């Protein structure tokens, strides 16, 4: 047995821990680039505390989903003021853009050269600039991952820069920052976290350490997501979902993902939909297809018992089987009002292009069994069928 595990240099978890960031930042330099979501005002409380530490703050606001264009603009803005470190505070889009900015502050060349799939996949040579990640949603786990997912407009696809040198210096997970999420955002980010935990658990690249993290994360998300959706002020549910998201990030960074995220990259560049909504809609259909394919072609696979275990963790029933897990996820998606991908603009004529791109994605390589084009086509058709 051989495996590796890498994550952020330091992780601080707990309600109120964002207050520790200014004093820690003082040791990283005197000029910070603060990457935020659309509203810089939401980070104003932190900026004011950083300024009390005599840290000059340059802000870069993310108006929408992360793209190579935005990442290059952010890196240029940070270079102009000679930023010494980066602080990203926001959702997964913000954190991923912050990682790209931190990398391009210390590595030469064009950002596109470092992209997977549509670029050269050139490895980063130098450590990214010091980077503090502060999630304000509970879904992507991007605060502890080694990749930066960016949309590439000219190719209509989302792909990654991937390197251990992207791992943040410090991740601060303060669940209080997630309390303002709407039910809509809570649902899709939370289902993204659950998807990542399940995909990492059944991945070809899973290992004993990631498996343990996934078991805890799946159980935690299973008992907390609907509560957080129905009552955004439920502090315990919010904290649990922040933990599940963190665990998902830890797991995927070391075990990879699967077909849901194999689809999500191409779809994210083709339709206007939150990443988590795409994952949520695909998850039960991918689970069902994987189990059917394993039973048909690899009936002795140990992954089948993993899918049974997923069902047991979600339902709390020791006799549950994989089909029960699929049903549980389907029911949760219905309760959380996950729409069909057709409602986000995906048309049947686009299916062949989606499948070609998905088969090339890095996430698809972690799927527990290689799915055929026909199986992928059936998943897309199910995901585009009208919801009840």
Give the pLDDT confidence of 114-144 residue by residue, as tens digits. 999 888 889 999 999 999 999 999 999 999 9
Cβ atoms of 268 and 274 closer than 8 Å? no
The pLDDT, as a whole number, for residue 253 is: 96
Query: What would the two tokens of residue 251 be?
Result: 């797991």
The pLDDT, as a whole number, for residue 244 is: 98
User: Given the structure tokens 């799939």, which residue do they identify?
Assistant: 117
Interhelix angle for 303-315 vs 322-335, to 10°? 50
Cβ atoms of 290 and 259 closer than 8 Å? yes
How far is residue 18's CA from residue 16's CA, in Å, rounded to a whole number? 6
- What letter does residue 64 receive in the DSSP assignment? S
Closest among 327, 329, 324, 342 to 382, alpha carbons compared:
342
CATH of 10-178, picked from 3.30.70.930, 3.40.50.1970, 3.40.1260.10, 3.40.50.10860, is: 3.40.50.1970
The pLDDT, as a whole number, for residue 388 is: 54
Element of type H or E holding 149: strand 147-152
Residues 81, 84, 89, 93: is their CA dihedral positive or negative? positive
Q: Considering the domain 183-384, what is its CATH architecture? A: Up-down Bundle (1.20)
Whether 11 shows a pLDDT value over 90: the answer reads yes
The pLDDT, as a whole number, for residue 387 is: 62
Interhelix angle for 275-297 vs 259-270, to 10°? 140
Mean pLDDT for the stretch of residues 12-20: 97
Q: Where are the domains of the chain?
A: 10-178, 183-384
Closest among 123, 206, 199, 117 to 157, alpha carbons compared:
117
Half-sphere exposure of residue 175: CA atoms within 13 angstroms, side-chain side: 20
Whether 334 shows a pLDDT value over 90: the answer reads yes
Closest among 139, 90, 147, 95 to 280, alpha carbons compared:
139
Mean pLDDT for the stretch of residues 344-373: 95
Give the pLDDT confidence of 94-105 residue by residue, as tens digits. 999 999 999 999
Closest among 198, 141, 229, 187 to 314, alpha carbons compared:
198
Query: What would the two tokens of residue 65 be?
Result: 């989903």
């Amino acid at each position: 047995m051989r495996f590796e595990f890498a994550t952020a240099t330091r992780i601080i978890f707990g309600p109120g821990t964002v207050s520790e960031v200014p004093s820690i930042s003082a040791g990283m330099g005197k000029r910070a680039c603060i990457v935020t979501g659309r509203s810089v005002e939401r980070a104003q409380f932190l900026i004011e505390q950083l300024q009390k530490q005599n840290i000059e703050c340059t802000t870069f606001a993310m108006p929408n989903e992360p793209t190579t264009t935005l990442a290059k603009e952010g890196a240029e803005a940070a270079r102009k003021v000679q930023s010494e470190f980066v602080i990203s505070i926001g959702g997964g889009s913000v954190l991923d853009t912050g990682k790209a900015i931190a990398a391009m502050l210390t590595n030469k060349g064009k950002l596109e050269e470092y992209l997977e799939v549509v670029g050269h996949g050139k490895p980063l040579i130098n450590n990214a600039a010091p980077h503090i990640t502060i999630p304000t949603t509970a879904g992507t786990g991007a605060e502890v991952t080694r990749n930066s997912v960016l949309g590439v407009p000219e190719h209509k696809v989302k792909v990654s820069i991937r390197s251990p040198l992207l791992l943040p210096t410090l991740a601060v997970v303060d669940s209080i920052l997630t309390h303002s999420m709407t039910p809509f955002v809570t649902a899709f980010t939370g289902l993204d976290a659950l998807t990542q935990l399940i995909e990492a658990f059944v991945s070809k690249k899973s290992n004993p350490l990631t498996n343990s993290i996934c078991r805890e994360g799946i159980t935690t998300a299973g008992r907390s997501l609907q509560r957080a959706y129905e009552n955004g002020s439920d502090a315990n549910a919010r904290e649990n979902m922040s933990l599940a998201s963190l665990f998902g990030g830890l797991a995927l960074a070391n075990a990879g993902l699967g077909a849901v995220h194999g689809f999500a990259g191409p779809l994210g560049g083709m339709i206007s939909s939150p990443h988590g909504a795409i994952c949520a809609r695909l998850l039960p259909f991918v689970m069902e297809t994987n189990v059917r394919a394993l039973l048909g072609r690899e009936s002795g696979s140990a992954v089948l018992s993993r899918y049974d275990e997923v069902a047991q963790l979600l339902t709390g029933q020791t006799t549950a089987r994989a089909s029960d897990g699929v049903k549980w996820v389907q029911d949760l998606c219905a309760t959380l009002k996950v729409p069909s991908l057709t409602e986000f603009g995906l048309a049947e004529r686009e299916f062949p292009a989606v499948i070609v791109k998905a088969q090339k994605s890095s996430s698809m390589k972690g799927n527990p069994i290689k799915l055929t084009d026909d199986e992928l086509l059936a998943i897309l058709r199910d995901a585009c069928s009208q919801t009840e």
